Amino acid sequence: MREQEEKMLIRLLIILTPLILGATEPITPIPQSLPYNGAKAALGKHLFFDTILSRDQTIACVTCHDFQHGGADSRLVSIGVGGKMGRMQSPTVFNAVFNFTQFWNGRAKNLAEQAAGPVHNPVEMGMTTGQIEQRINADARYRESFHTITGRSIVTFADIAEMIAEYEKTLITPNGKFDRFLRGETVLTPNETQGYALFKRFGCVSCHNGINVGGNSFQKFGVIIPMQRTPNTDDRYALTGRERDKNVFKVPTLRNIALTAPYFHNGSAATLEEALRIMAKHNLGTKLTSLEINDIIAFLNTLSGQIPPKTITP
Amino acid sequence: MRLSFKIIVAIIAGIIALAALLYFQFFSENYFSKRQQITDQINAIETAEKSLDYQVLHSGFFLYLNQDNIISKIDTVEQRIVSLDNDHHINNEHLKTLKSLETYHEAFQRKTQSIYDFQTANSAIKNATMAILAIQKEAIVIFNSTHPDERLFLKEFTTISSSVLLAKNSLDSQLIDQLDKEIDILSVYQFKESNKQEISTALIGNLKVFRDFFPQYKEAIEQLEDAETEKALLGLRQSFSAEDHTELFTVKYFSYLLIALYISSLGLIIYFLIRSEKEARTDRLSGLGNRKAYEARVRRSAPSALFLVNINKFKNYNDFYGITSGDQILIMIAQRLITLCQSWDNAHLYRLGGDEFGILIDRQENKYLEKLGQTLLKEFYKEPIVIEEIETSLSITLAISTQAPLLETADMALKSIKKDRVKDMILYHEGLNLIQVVQENITKTHELRRAVEHDRLIPYFQPIISLHTGQIEKYEALARLIMEDGEIKSIFGYLDVVKESKYYPTLTRIMVQKSFAVMKNLPHTFSINLSIDDIADPETVKMIRTTLDKNPDIASRVVFEILESEAMHDYAKVVDFIRIVKGYGCEIAIDDFGSGYSNFDHLLTLDIDIIKIDGTLIQHIDTSPHAVMIVETIVGFAKKAGKKTIAEFVCNQAVFEMVKKLGIDYSQGYYTGTPEAL
């Protein structure tokens, strides 16, 4: 009986949702650092920058997760081994650790799982597990480094993914202006303040919230006005096969968004302004004025944080 | 069973019990802590899921919210599931629980998917709701309510927006079904002004969002409400509880086992104790109860009568046939006694000593007991005891007592008849005065001890007269005790006591030493009594030799009288002794010859000089033709063998005349001279 009542109460509370705004700020600052294993992260860093992981030894992780472009790819879609074109625009590796799932459609539960994806993808690095293990085990320095950490003489693919994932814990961008504002360390300009208010009022914040200003739910690309679905795109539909999941993607992070053009899963928006207009029109059913766009962009710029340091402190 | 073995077995049993106890403690502690741990983990999962539900509810409640909270709660539940899933104990002992956990995990994954769907729909619907209200506000400003079309549009708008809110708040799909028609109605309105048309388009767009996402929204909420995870969690609890019950049973049975182990090790120790006690009370040879068992029985039930059965001269059998056969005899006698007293009412048989058996019986009537004893003896002799195919002439003596202490009285009675061996059965009664005898023996022993300690033991000398010359030719040294009051007492009354006491060798040595001292200054030949035991005692022999060495002039005047009234075990020693003392010029006399043990063969082989004819033959020689005959034979033999003869106990003239007539060489006795100090 109590359960029933409880359920009724929950139901009541869920449906009785008139327009109550968020009780607290829906965005939280990035911490200064996350706990990580120094030795593993250092080794992961090596791997991250090493083309040894790609078939023709031309591509490293960093190739498509360029630190100069906010940890993402400035190209429309990433180009893999042998100049092959990928299907998706590379999401940023920065703050990826805060995403609830990885990849545009969330098919990887965590970073280690994600790390395997591009390595195996024939249009990205194009390596099988066996090949990569063979290659790393043939390298005396890697073997030695892995041995020191794992205590095993043979390096497995899981070990490699684990090290890269550990390194990615260091790839966070704290102390952006907005984070400092949230911590009460600075104030926003009137434009930025207005931009943040619009961001909330228009409902952007419904999907772009949390530590990563996104990256914590799946949403449809084109809610009000449907978007043309790119064939063979890796949306949720590719994973679930449910009609409703067509053009549904993991909400991308807006952290460092000013640095990671082009935008969307297909890179279809070259600029922030363009991306904002598309989002307003298709997802919110509204049209933004230039003034509004300027203010929102001013706000989005405050989301750029410190680029991760080159050195790893164990 | 050896004691060390018993101790080791008891210790091992103790150690096993202790080890089991410790293991049980460890096991149960482990069990309870594990159980608590797992219950805690299941509770933690439930708490985390509740917390997640709260966050989901929260996100429906607020227009915008940090949805990281939902994600982090999902992560928490996942982590707790994984942690429980990796639990060693669960994996080893709770496979059903593990399976239920997997079921729950799958349910939770579906729930996660529903939450994701809810998030998607919730964001779209919330934004649309807000947009519709914002558009409505704008529309009221822009649209002209006096214009019929526009007024109608506003009216429709209001109707729709309220039904949309109602639908959202009631989750009523029917209202949404109407939405399509209403969208169609709204779509009919076309406005020339672009701002009005834009409002219309935006409204229709948002309404379509409502229409499109509402089913997903509703479905997601329904799925969240479905409580599939709740059921799965309940299933998990039940599985664990069921398996836990099984484990608890193990703990319970283990504790039973432990108690059983404890009891059995205790039992083992008790068994050993009883067995040891039993062994201690059992005569190994015969299997009968021993003296200890007898005493326990007497203490416990105070039986009214004891039959004490003694094997006559058992020592001889042992010596003769060997100890193994002796044991054989004891076993056979035991068997025979068991058979014999089987028909007795409530009789208990014990082996009380080397050659003594006791039968306790609860009857008191003397006549009955005597009859029973007679029957026993009769039955006992029905068949001879055969050992090594030799029929023995083994006999027993029976003493019966009803007088407490049974064993002591029966024993005294037994000794009293064994002395003269006239009867083979005696019933103890007060008249036997045996207790007094025992008391006297004790007194005598004390007197003897004090006499020895205070040097009040002296030799008296009894003259031995030559029947040829009538002159005193020799003396026999006889021990006398000077009592504390100065009275002189013959050793004769003490001989039994002396033989049983440790003073026997001392007595002999004192006699040798003091006789020599007295006779040093006299010219006479004198004799000293030695027993076979004396001759067998190296210390005594050494002392005699030393004395002879010191007094070479006296040595030729010494006669050693060897008492022959006992069996000569150490025949070789006797031969040796005789050879040695003859070397000093001493003579050897055989004492009490003709008393029963005497053996003519010994006379020849032992190089005897003098035969002293037993006093019991001499004292009645004047009246007993039988004695005359024996004495004549002895004298005849002695003369032929060239030995001298002495008649003892010559107590009157008639005897004196008789011995003289028989041609005996010497006379000794009160008639011819009493013992006196010289």
Position B482 in a domain: yes
For A255-274, write each residue's pLDDT tens digit.
999 999 899 999 999 999 99
First vs last C-alpha separation in chain B = 66
Q: What's the pLDDT band for A8 if we cut at 50, 70, 90?
A: low
State residue B596 phi and psi, 5-degree precision: 140, -55
Same domain, B190 and B339: no
A209·B131 Cβ contact <8 A: no
CB B206 within 8 A of CB B168: no
Structure tokens at A274: 């363009």
As a whole number of angstroms, the distance between CA B588 and CA B59 comes to 137
Mutate to test the interface with A, among B56, B67, B203 (most CBs of A within 10 A): B67
> Any CB–CB contact under 8 A between B81 and chain A?
no
* Mode of pairing for the β-strands spanning B305-311 and B356-361: antiparallel
Instruction: Show Cβ contacts of residue B38 under 8 Å, excluding neighbours closer than 6 positions.
Output: B84, B87, B89, B90, B94, B97, B240
ipTM for the predicted complex: 0.87
Which residue of chain B comes nearest to A286, CA vs CA?
B202
Specify if B20 maps to a domain. Answer: no
The verdict on a CB contact (< 8 Å) between B64 and A287 is no
Contacts of B213 in chain A (CB under 8 A): 223
Query: How does DSSP classify residue B355?
Result: T
Question: Quick check: A84 pLDDT over 50?
Answer: yes
Per-10-residue mean pLDDT of chain B, 678 residues long, equals 76 82 84 87 92 86 83 93 89 88 93 92 89 86 85 86 79 78 86 87 89 88 85 91 83 83 84 84 86 87 86 79 82 87 85 88 86 86 79 83 85 79 78 72 85 89 91 92 87 80 85 90 90 86 91 90 67 86 91 72 80 87 86 89 90 90 91 88
Contact between chains at A3 and B202 (C-beta distance less than 8 A): no
Compute the C-alpha angle A64/A65/A66, nearest 5°.
Answer: 95
* pLDDT on residue A18: 41
Instruction: Identify the pLDDT of residue A313.
Output: 59
Q: Is A289 on the interface with B (CB under 8 A)?
A: no
On whether any CB of chain B is under 8 Å from the CB of A1, the answer is no
Query: Which of B431, B451, B480 corresponds to the end of one domain?
Result: B431
CATH number for B421: 3.30.70.270
Identify the domain boundary among B223, B239, B264: B223
Q: Which helix (H) or strand (E) holds B530?
A: strand B525-530
User: What digits encode the pLDDT tens for the residues A41-71?
Assistant: 999 999 999 999 999 899 999 999 999 889 9
A15–B170 CB contact, under 8 Å: yes
Q: Please identify which of the residues A3, A6, A124, A192 carries the catalytic annotation.
A: A124
A98-133 residue pLDDT tens: 999 999 999 999 999 998 888 888 888 889 999 999
**Contact call for B123 and A22, based on CB within 8 A:** no
Query: Each residue of B564-589: b (16+ CB within 10 Å) or e?
Result: beeebeeeebbeebbeebeebebbbb
Q: Is residue B511 part of a domain?
A: yes
Nearest chain A residue to B121 by CA distance is A219
Q: Are residues B352 and B483 in the same domain?
A: no
Query: What pLDDT, on the 0 to 100 scale, is given for residue A21?
Result: 47
Residue B647: predicted pLDDT? 93
Cβ neighbour number for residue B604 with a 10 Å cutoff: 12
Contacts of B60 in chain A (CB under 8 A): 13-15, 17
The verdict on residue B608 lying in a domain is: yes
Same domain, B488 and B582: yes
pLDDT above 70 covers a percentage of chain A that reads 91
Do residue B352 and residue B470 come from a single domain?
A: no
**Active-site residue flag, A5:** no
pLDDT computed for residue B598 by the predictor: 61
- Per-residue buried b or exposed e for A173-212, using 16+ beta carbons within 10 Å of the residue's own CB: bbebbbbbbbeeeeebeebbbbbbebbbebbbbbbbbbbb
- Round to whole Å and give the CA distance between B673 and A244: 155
Alpha-carbon distance A14 to nearest alpha carbon in chain B (angstroms):
5
In chain A, the N- to C-terminal Cα span, in Å, equals 55
Give the helix ranges, DSSP H, for B341-405.
Answer: 366-380
Are B488 and B548 part of one and the same domain? yes
Looking at the structure, tell me whether residues B497 and B595 fall in a common domain. yes
C-alpha distances out from residue A269 to A76, A218, B445, B497, Å: 9, 20, 137, 139
Evaluated on CA atoms B245, B246, B247, B251, the torsion sign reads: positive
Min CA distance, B254 vs chain A (Å)? 40
**Cα dihedral sign for A36, A40, A42, A45?**
negative
Mutation target to probe the B interface, by most B beta carbons within 10 A, among A3, A9, A27, A100 is: A100
Length of chain B: 678
Domains of chain A: 23-30+174-301 (1.10.760.10), 38-168 (1.10.760.10)
% of chain A beyond a pLDDT of 90: 69
Looking at the fold, whether B604 and B659 belong to one and the same domain comes out as yes
CATH number (domain holding residue B635): 3.20.20.450
With vertex at residue B367, the alpha carbon angle to CA B363 and CA B373, rounded to the nearest 5 degrees, is 75
Cβ–Cβ below 8 Å for B225 and A11: yes
Any domain includes B487? yes
**Nearest residue of chain B to residue A209 (CA atoms):** B66
d(CA B618, CA B651): 9
Question: What would the DSSP string read from start to end of B156-225?
Answer: HHHHHHHHHHHHHHHT-HHHHHHHHHHHHHHHH---SSHHHHHHHHHHHHHHHHHHHHHHHHHHHHHHHH
Map tokens 């079921």 to a residue.
B103
User: A153 and A147 in contact (C-beta within 8 Å)?
Assistant: yes
Please give the Cα distance from B464 to B48 (Å, whole number): 130
Q: In terms of Cα–Cα distance, which of B467, B404, B435, B381 is closest to B664?
A: B467
Report if residue B95 sits inside a domain. no
B73: nearest CA in chain A? A100
**Do B656 and B546 belong together in one domain?**
yes
Q: Quick one: B618 and B490 in the same domain?
A: yes
Among B380, B400, B431, give the residue marking a domain's end: B431
Give me the mean pLDDT over the A192-204 stretch: 93
Tell me which chain A residues have a C-beta less than 8 angstroms from the C-beta of B67. 209-210, 216-217
> Any idea what the CATH number is for the domain that residue B189 is in?
1.20.1440
Which chain B residues are within 8 Å of A200, Cβ to Cβ?
64
What size, in residues, is chain A? Answer: 314
Shortest Cα distance from A263 to chain B (angstroms)? 20
Could you tell me where the DSSP H helices lie in B477-570? 495-500, 504-519, 532-536, 538-550, 552-555
The answer to whether A239 contacts chain B (CB < 8 Å) is no
Query: ∠ at Cα A111 (A110, A112), nearest 5°?
Result: 95
Say yes or no to pLDDT of A17 above 70: no
pTM: 0.61
- DSSP-derived letter for residue B649 is -
Looking at the structure of chain B, the number of domains it has is: 3
CA triplet B517, B518, B521: central angle to 5 degrees? 95
Partner-chain contact A20 B67, CB within 8 Å = no
CA dihedral B620, B622, B624, B627 (to 10 degrees): 70
Residue B587: phi, psi to the nearest 5?
-115, 160
One domain, residues B187 and B297: no
pLDDT at A41: 94
Indicate whether B387 and B506 sit together in one domain: no
pLDDT in tens, B125-172: 888 888 888 888 888 888 888 888 888 888 888 888 888 887 777 777
Contact of A198 with A296, CB cutoff 8 Å: yes
Give the range of the structural domain holding residue B623, as residue numbers without chain letter. 439-668
Give a yes or no: residue B260 inside a domain.
no
Contact indicator for B464, B475 with CB cutoff of 8 Å: yes
| B88 belongs to a structural domain | no
| B536 and B634, same domain (yes or no) | yes
